[in-house]
Amino acid sequence: MHKSVLLNESIENLNIKENGIYVDCTLGFAGHSKEILKKIKTGKLFAFDQDDLAIKLSKEKLEKVNSNFEIINSNFVNIKKELAKRNIKKVDGILFDLGVSSMQLDIDERGFSFHSNAQLDMRMNQNQELSAKEVVNTYSKEDIINILYKYGEEKFAKSIATNICEERKNKEINTTLELVEIIKKSVPEKYKRKAHPARKTFQAIRIEVNKELEVFEKALLDSISLLNKQGRICVITFHSLEDRICKHTFKKYSEIDEKVKGLPIIPEQYKPILKIVKKSIKPKENEINENRRSRSAILRVVEKI
C-alpha cells in the first residue's frame, strides 16, 4: 500500500489558493495530487509522471475529486516545455516528492527491490532503452565504481564492481537476486549485519538508470523561474544527494550575491529571488512508525519574493 510521505506538511506549506495553478512533478499514485485538487475550485493542477500504471490508477482517483487537472505523461525535466505547450508561463506552487513509489518497489517485475527476484530493470519510464541490466553488464569497471561511490556512497564500491565484472565474464547478470549474491560476496560480514548490503548499490544503479540527479537539478532551476510572486516550491527528498542539490539551490537564490553584499544599496539583479520558508521538516514519530520508508524524508520549502 502506497502512503504519501509528509502529506499534510507539504500541502499546508504549498499555501494553496482556490484559483491557483499548481504542478505536482511526481504524481505517483496521486496521494499529494488528490489533496491539492480538493483545495482548487477554479484553478488547475498539472501532474507529471512517466509510469503508465501510475497514470492509469491516479486518473481514476483524481476524477472522483474534480476535473480541474491534467496528467502529463513525461519526465518532469520537461516541466517548462510541457507547460509552455499548454500556454502556462507562470504557476503558484510546485511539489516534488522524490521517493520511489512504494508500488513500484512492490511490483517485483520492475526490478527496483533487492528483496525479491526479478529481471534487472529499474526504469521509471518503461519505454526508455537504458535499464539496470545494461549498466551491470556493459559499463566499464571504472564507471561502475564511480556510480557506486557517487550515487550510493558505497564504501565497498571497488570490490563490488570487481566481482560484477568477474561474474559477467562467465555469464550475463540478469536478475536482482543474482546481483544481490555478488554484492554479498563483496562485502565483510560485519557490513551485512548493519543493513541490507545491496541497499546502496541498488540506489546508485537506479539513479544512474533514470538520470535522477541531473533531471532534478534542471527541473528545480526551471521551477524557480516558473513561479509567480508568493508562489512556493515544496521538495521532499529521501537521500543526501538530492537533499544537497535542493539545499544548495535554495540557499543560492535566497541570499544576496557575494559580489555586492556590503553595498548600501543592492542593485535589483543581485537581490535574492527566494525566501526560505522552512529549512527542513522531518516526519513525526507516528508517521515513521506507520511507514518505515518515511524515516529519511526531508521537506524543504521556499517562496518567490
Question: Strands 21-24 and 91-97: what pairing?
Answer: parallel
Give dist(CA 173, CA 98) in Å, integer.
Answer: 28
End-to-end CA distance of the chain: 39
* Per-residue pLDDT, 203: 94
What is the structure's pLDDT at 100?
A: 75
d(CA 155, CA 159): 9
Q: How many other C-beta atoms lie within 10 A of the C-beta of residue 129?
A: 7
Average pLDDT for the chain: 94
Mean pLDDT, residues 161-171 taken together? 98
Per-residue pLDDT at 95: 98
Q: Are 53 and 126 in contact (CB under 8 A)?
A: no
pLDDT digits over 10-55, tens only? 999 999 999 999 999 999 999 999 999 999 999 999 999 998 888 9
For 85-139, the pLDDT digits (tens) are 999 999 999 999 998 766 666 677 788 889 889 999 999 888 899 999 999 999 9
Using the CB atoms, write b or e for 181-206: b if 16+ within 10 Å: ebbbebbeeeeeeeeebbebbbbbbb
CB 112 within 8 A of CB 123: no
Q: In whole angstroms, give the CA distance from residue 244 to residue 249.
A: 8
Q: Under CATH, which architecture does the 7-97+212-304 domain have?
A: 3-Layer(aba) Sandwich (3.40)
* pLDDT value of residue 108: 75
Please compute the mean of the pLDDT values over residues 261-269 and round it to a whole number: 85
Q: Which of 263, 173, 212 is nearest to 76 (CA)?
A: 212
Percentage of residues of the chain with pLDDT beyond 90: 83
Q: 302 falls in which pLDDT band (50, 70, 90)?
A: very high
Reply yes or no on whether the pLDDT at 1 is more than 60.
Answer: no
Task: Quickly state the pLDDT bin for 258 (edges 50, 70, 90).
Answer: confident
Helical (H) or strand (E) element with 173? none
7-97+212-304 and 108-210, same CATH topology: no
The mean pLDDT of 175-181, rounded to a whole number, is 97
Q: What is the pLDDT of residue 106?
A: 66
- Pick the closest to residue 250 from 190, 300, 188 (CA basis): 300
Between 201 and 259, whose confidence is greater? Answer: 201
What pLDDT is stored for residue 101 in this prediction?
67
pLDDT per residue as tens digits for the range 134-160: 999 999 999 999 999 999 999 999 999
Tell me the three cell numbers of residue 84.
509552455
**Three-state secondary-structure class, residue 199:** helix
| Residue 153 Rama label (left phi>0; alpha psi -120 to 50; beta) | left
| pLDDT, greater one: 169 or 52 | 169
Burial environment of residue 291 by CB neighbours within 10 A (0 to 12, 13 to 18, 19 or more): middle
* Domain range list for the chain: 7-97+212-304, 108-210
Q: What is the pLDDT of residue 133?
A: 98
Architecture category of domain 108-210 in CATH: Orthogonal Bundle (1.10)
State the average pLDDT over residues 193-208.
Answer: 95
Q: Which of 193, 100, 202 is nearest to 152 (CA)?
A: 202
Report d(CA 76, CA 82) in Å as an integer.
9
Geometric angle at alpha carbon 64, from 58 and 65, rounded to 5°? 95
Q: What's the pLDDT at 125? A: 86
